[in-house]
Each structure stands twice: as structure tokens, then as C-alpha cells.
Amino acid sequence: MTTTQTGVRTTGRIGDSAQRPDGTLKVTGEFAYASDLWHDDMVWGVTLRSPHPHARIRRIDVTEALTVPGVSAVLTADDVPGENAYGLEHADQPVLAAEFVRYEGEPVALVAADHPETARRAAARIRVHYEVLPALTDPRRALDDDAPQVHPGGNLVRHLRLRRGDPEPTAPVVVSIDFEVGMQDQAFLGPESGLAVPAEDGGVDLYVATQWLHVDQRQICLALGMPPEKVRLTLAGVGGAFGGREDLSVHVHACLLALRTGRPVKMSYGREESFYGHVHRHPATMTYEFGAERDGTLVYAKARTLLDGGAYASSTAAVVGNAGLLGLGPYRIPSVAVDAYGVFTHNPPCGAMRGFGCVQAAFAHEALMDELAAAVGVSPVEIRQRNGFVEGDRTVTGQVIDSAAPVAELLQRVADLPLPSALPERPDLLDLPGAVGNTTHGEGVHRGVGYAVTYKNIGFSEGFDDYSTARVRLQVVAGEAVATVHTAAAEVGQGLVTVQQQIARTELGVERVVVVPADTAVGSAGSTSASRQTYVTGGAVKAACEAVRTAVLQRAAVALGRPVAGLALDGDKVVGPSGEVLAGLGEVLGDDAVEETVEWRHRPTHAVDPETGQGDAHVQFAFSAHRAVVDVDTELGLVKVVALDTAQDVGRAINPDAVVGQIHGGSAQGMGLALMEEVVVTDGHVRNPSFTDYLLPTILDMPPMRVEVLEYADPHAPYGVRGVGEPPTISSGPAVAAAVRAACAKPLRRVPIRPEHITGT
């Protein structure tokens, strides 16, 4: 469980690169991730999944499985006591498939046994009689009249329609493009895991790796038919998330098995199961057209985007919203017509992944900007600078950008960075595409440079009530002021626990801040997604600290007989206007603790007009630009990324090192999608569910990355912060793709770019 009560003291206020309070535990192997949990008398749960993308379940026979020695329970849909349905936005996904299975890997039955291998073998002895049905696996067919229906309501999840300006625009320069993006996996390293412990009150305590405890709790309660007070969640250590833990995985299953067996149940997926156990990034098919003046100034944009949502809704509707509302890039465009569709198919369900709808779109609009640059004869940097947003511009939904929008400056920053030196005449093999594969000594290798820029909404949009709750306590323990921060916010690796400490130190003047484990004993913190936690939970912690400080100073004012104005907290002392010590905190508080709980909201956002997509849908925008330099062996189609540099406006860096770490990691994930990462699905079947066959960037694949951090404070956000995590994932991939196109002079309208796309073979 994520706790920072480690005995390892860290320091640092906002603006410092404070160290992680859990860093020592993580380097010594003592940090308890969800898959590390253990309980006396626990049994192991496993899932039996559908081998078919679409089938009717005729009958399930569990008799043989129950006879396996060591098995304590076998459960099917009939054993779900509440509603057999869950989902982030629509409860359309069965906890265990009842009548139909709608994708390969859909959970059908559960087994608990005293050894995971016993449970797996027993699961293999469950006889499920399927009637295989025709599967809809081509999203382009989903809206055809004769397409198989995935759900009774039809195959459309959402159509986002965006219209602005001239409905029939014309322009002297017109460029267009078709682009396709493959299915990316979050590939967090810590597998989906949890431990459910049955409680004496008939309820259950679940320790689980997740991104949003309270939205999990709501769904689990529905399925178990239990009130929230009986379903208590605590965050277990999270080994990365990137959107892949927004939907439920082991949650309900482990609880069902625990309640049935009366024993603690641990579930932990292997890597193959993990590929079936969480949603992926939507594959996209896009058609874009830009019209511009002869100098490259954009006149209009048209786009049609199709996202394959797979078998269940998950967060597809919100992803479609982003792909539509933000899908034309950070550019001033007077007239727009966008239609973005999310559809059901019998492919694996798709949902949230870092960048959330903007990633796919950016590949298309950035490739098209390069086309436009070529058509009007200006550089890729210049075309973007000419059209890029500045503060005060209106987005394509009519929303005024009311804080910094430094598109031109970000591009200039990356453009001004020195370029890596050219390959020497006799290059080291390690510096070449193919490396020690010894596939080239430099012959056939061409260098390319590419640019991309993006913007991303921060926080939840379109009118969502987006808030976080923080409880902060201040007391004197053994003569030392100690602040305790309690939220339900999920630390997934990004460093939110560090940020919470830094904020409490800054606001309360204390050095010692304990961040207690996130759980549902405190109100919702919202999701660790949409790059929102430093903003929203940071805002809540700040507000709770301010409330504590006010309460303490009021007590001090009464005790000292002085006006509260002018009093301040400094460490374990109350000080006056010129810093003079007036009282020790211990004297003011005695043995009391002052505790305040605050629910904090950012400015409201609004739903968009259903006909035109117009409206103030977002609370904040974040911008980043990338420049990629690649060497491509055009004969073999091998790519070596030589440099991948970023400039990003972060508003205010609460923890500068952690900010840079987010940008590095986000850039790597974008590069992965451009060059190697794809969940290959044919006929509804996943062909590469392993780290042997799903390729992730290694340390040999990643180039040195320079990061230019700009800090233009957002006056509307706590401390001026701007979300950091997602933008670099959006702009890095398109920059890499552009660099490869420049190197090999091929259009390359699909990512990931494979060797055969480069060689044309």
C-alpha cells in the first residue's frame, strides 16, 4: 500500500525538486505493489476468458472444475448478486458474461484455489458451450445497415459534430490526407492485481491498483448489491497506469470470490492476461482536409475521424469528444467541419490512454501541416508558428484561451536547440539503425528532422463535476509540528505524494508531512487522469491547508489576544508581522489536532452544443512541441531516433525534476506508437499479447532528450500550474513520424511505421 510513513524524511517546498517519499522503499524492493500483497489463509483467484470475439453461451458446466483438489469456488454470471453490469460512463459490460461474449478475452467464469496453478488448471476444466456468431471486426462497417449488432441499441457510441464559420468554405490552397493509427497498449509494468478481504460486517475490503478509487467503489457496489460503507477500497502500490487502470479489472471478481469463500482472495494477471484485461488506445481512421491562403494561413479544416471502441463503451464517448473538439491541433481556423465517431465492434474494448483522443488526431493534423508547408513553400516550423494559437484566440469551439498559449515560442525553442552532429564517416554500429545487427555501416542511411506541436485539455471537460477532496490535520507530536494529508488520489508513479507534501510544507510552514494511504474513508479525489491531479487534488490540499492555517491562527489570536491579521505559521511557531516568534505551536494547540476537510473544484466547464460542438468545454489547455531527428536505413526500413527534444509550458513547475521526468516518459510513449507499439488484432483476435511480441522502447531505442520547460503561470489555477503528463505523449510521435517521412521521402500515412512501409516491399 502506498504509504509514506517510512522513517525516511524528505524536504522541499513548491518549486523544489523534492525527492519522492516512497523512493527508498521502491529502490530496496520494500514498496508494496498490488501484486505483492499477501494475507494469511489467502487463496488465488483466476479468470476464465472467452476464446471467441462473438458467441452465444449455450451452457457452462463447472462440475469437473469443482472436483479439482484445492479449489474453493467456481463462479459464473449466476453468482453475481447485484447487477451484472459495470462501466465508466455506461454500465454495459457484464461482470461475467451471461448470454453473449462480445470480445476475445471477455471474462466468463472465476476460480479460487490454494495455488494459482491449481486455479488455472481448474479453470481449464470448465466446459463452456459456445455458439460462435459472426463478428463485426471492421469498424468501417460498424454503421452499415447489415452489420452485426454488438448491442441492441446499435453500434454508434457517439458522434461528435463540430461546425464553425463558413459552411462551404473555399481556399486557394487545399491539402488533404488519410491517416491510420494502430491500437496502442498502456503496457504499465505492474500487472492488474488486488487483494479482497471479507469483513466481519459482511462487507469487503479491497486493496487494489487503480486510478480512481471512488468510481471503482460505485461500480463494485452496483455489482455486489452492497452499500458503499460495506465496500471499502484502499489503494495498493500502483506499477504505472497511463489510462489502463480507469476501468475495472480484478475488482469485482476478487470481491465475489472473497465473499463466496469467506477467505482473502488475491488476483494478479500475468502479462498475456493483462493484454486482455484492460482497454487499449482506440485505433483510428482519419480523413483530413485543410484549406489555406497562399501564405499558408489556414482558412478552413474538415475532418472525419472513426475510432474503434471495441465491444463495450468504457470512455469512448469522452475520447470521441477530445478527438473531435481538439482534433485540429492548436491552430486558428475560421471555418471547421468535424465529424468524429466512436463505434462498437467485437474487437477488444478501447478507452483511456495518456493523450486521450488527441494522440490519434495529432498524427493526422501534423502530417497535414507538413503537407501544407510544402504546398506553400514555407518550413514546418514557420507554418505552425503562422497559424498557432496565442493567448486570447478562440479555439474551434469558440472558447477563448484565457491563459498562455505559446505555440510559436515552443516551436522556436526546439528549433533553436543545436542539432546532433552528422554521422561520422565510420560510425559506431551502436549509433546506426540496426545497431549491432550489423545491417549497415552507414550506406543507405538518411537523416530526417520533424516537428510537431499539440494542445491538450487538462482535467475533465464538457460540464463534468470535476473535484477533489483533501483532509489535512496539523498537530504537535513529540515537540514537532506534523501535518497529515489524506486524500483518495491515486499515486501511480507520477509523484503526486511528493507534490502533496510540498504543498503542505509550503502552506503550513512545517517540515514533516505524512501522506497517508489513499482510501475511500475520505471523499473522492477524482481520477488520476487527464493530467489533472496536481491541479485538482493539489488545489484541494492547498485549500485544506489554508483552512487549517486559518483555524490555527484564530486559536492563536484568541490565546495571544492579538488580531489574526498579521499572524503566520513558521515551522512549529506562530510568528507576527515581522517574523517575531509569538508562541510555540505546541502552546497554541496543546494535544489538540486541527483538522479540515475541503472539497475543491476548478472553474466549471460546459457541455457543447450537440449540433455545432460550440462551447466552453475545457478548463485549461496545455501545449508542447517536439523536434525529432532520425536516421533511417531506407533499404531495410530500420529507424534510429537520434534526438527527441521537447519544449513545454507547465505553468508552474511544482517539482521541476518530476516535471522533466513526466516529459521524458511521455515522449517515449509517443515515440513507441510512431515506430513500434501495436496490439495487432485480426478477425477479433489479439495476435501479440506479450512483451516478446508487443514491442516497447528500450534504453537502446531511446535517444537523449533535451527538455525546455516554460513556466507561464495560469492565473486561474492553483500556483499557476498547468497539467504536464499528457502533452508530450501527443506531440512526440507525430514529430518522429515527420522525421522519418523527411528521411525517406515517403508519405507514410500509418503508424506505427513498419520497415515494410519505408521500403515499400
Partner 1 sequence: MRVTTTVNGTERTADDVWPGESLLYLLRERLGLPGAKNACEQGECGSCTVYLDGEPVCACLVAAGQAIGREVTTVEGLAEGEALHPVQEAFVEAGAVQCGFCTPGLVVAAADLLARVPEPSDPEIREALAGNLCRCTGYEKILDAVRLAARRQATR
Of 193 and 487, nearer to partner 1 (C-beta) is: 193
Of 19 and 249, nearer to partner 1 (C-beta) is: 19
Of 3 and 667, nearer to partner 1 (C-beta) is: 667
The Cα–Cα gap between 640 and 438 comes to 13
Closest C-alpha among 353, 327, 359, 356 to residue 340: 327
Of 498 and 524, nearer to partner 1 (C-beta) is: 498
CB of 9 to partner 1, least distance (A): 13
Q: Tell me the H-state helices in 52-110.
A: 63-66
* Number of Cβ within a 10 Å radius of residue 725: 26
Closest C-alpha among 668, 631, 627 to residue 758: 631
Environment class of 392 (CB within 10 Å of its CB; exposed 0-12, middle 13-18, buried 19+)? exposed
Of 692 and 761, nearer to partner 1 (C-beta) is: 692
Of 98 and 435, nearer to partner 1 (C-beta) is: 435
Given a contact cutoff of 8 angstroms between Cβ atoms, the answer to whether 500 and 512 are in contact is no
For the record, the C-alpha cell of 528 comes out as 488520476
Of 279 and 401, nearer to partner 1 (C-beta) is: 279
CB of 254 to partner 1, least distance (A): 17
Of 360 and 729, nearer to partner 1 (C-beta) is: 729
The Cα–Cα gap between 48 and 197 comes to 22
The Cα–Cα gap between 543 and 533 comes to 14
Cis-peptide, bond into residue 752, ω within 30° of zero: yes
Of 616 and 677, nearer to partner 1 (C-beta) is: 677
CB of 563 to partner 1, least distance (A): 44
CB of 662 to partner 1, least distance (A): 8
Q: Which residues contact 354 (CB under 8 A, 6 or more apart)?
A: 186, 242, 243, 666, 669, 725, 726, 729
Of 81 and 704, nearer to partner 1 (C-beta) is: 704
Of 139 and 190, nearer to partner 1 (C-beta) is: 190
HSE at residue 440, side-chain half, CA atoms within 13 A, is: 21
Of 19 and 347, nearer to partner 1 (C-beta) is: 19
The letter for the amino acid at 307 is L
Of 29 and 424, nearer to partner 1 (C-beta) is: 29
The letter for the amino acid at 313 is A
Environment class of 311 (CB within 10 Å of its CB; exposed 0-12, middle 13-18, buried 19+)? buried
Closest C-alpha among 347, 353, 295 to residue 322: 353
- In SS3 terms, 457-518 reads as EECCCCCCCCEEEEEEEEEEECCEEEEEEEECECCCCCCHHHHHHHHHHHHHCCCEEEECCC
CB of 660 to partner 1, least distance (A): 8
Of 50 and 655, nearer to partner 1 (C-beta) is: 655
Of 199 and 696, nearer to partner 1 (C-beta) is: 696
Given a contact cutoff of 8 angstroms between Cβ atoms, the answer to whether 555 and 476 are in contact is no
CB of 442 to partner 1, least distance (A): 17
CB of 437 to partner 1, least distance (A): 13
Q: How far is CA 636 from CA 181, 374, 441, 603, 640, in A?
A: 22, 27, 13, 52, 12
Given a contact cutoff of 8 angstroms between Cβ atoms, the answer to whether 186 and 353 are in contact is yes
CB of 118 to partner 1, least distance (A): 9
The Cα–Cα gap between 454 and 407 comes to 8
CB of 414 to partner 1, least distance (A): 16
Of 333 and 735, nearer to partner 1 (C-beta) is: 735
For the record, the C-alpha cell of 154 comes out as 446499435
Q: How far is CA 380 from CA 42, 384, 481, in A?
A: 59, 6, 55
CB of 281 to partner 1, least distance (A): 14
The Cα–Cα gap between 536 and 434 comes to 45
CB of 521 to partner 1, least distance (A): 24
Q: Which residues contact 281 (CB under 8 A, 6 or more apart)?
A: 183, 184, 185, 186, 243, 350, 353, 355, 359, 360, 673
The Cα–Cα gap between 647 and 453 comes to 9
CB of 493 to partner 1, least distance (A): 3
CB of 690 to partner 1, least distance (A): 6
CB of 696 to partner 1, least distance (A): 5
Given a contact cutoff of 8 angstroms between Cβ atoms, the answer to whether 326 and 455 are in contact is yes
Given a contact cutoff of 8 angstroms between Cβ atoms, the answer to whether 273 and 110 are in contact is no
CB of 239 to partner 1, least distance (A): 3
CB of 450 to partner 1, least distance (A): 18
Residues contributing to the site for partner 1 (CB under 8 A): 17, 19-20, 22-24, 26-33, 35-36, 38, 115, 117, 186-191, 238-242, 268, 270-271, 428, 430, 492-495, 657-658, 660-661, 664-669, 690-692, 696-700, 702, 704-705
The Cα–Cα gap between 757 and 751 comes to 10
The Cα–Cα gap between 605 and 463 comes to 5
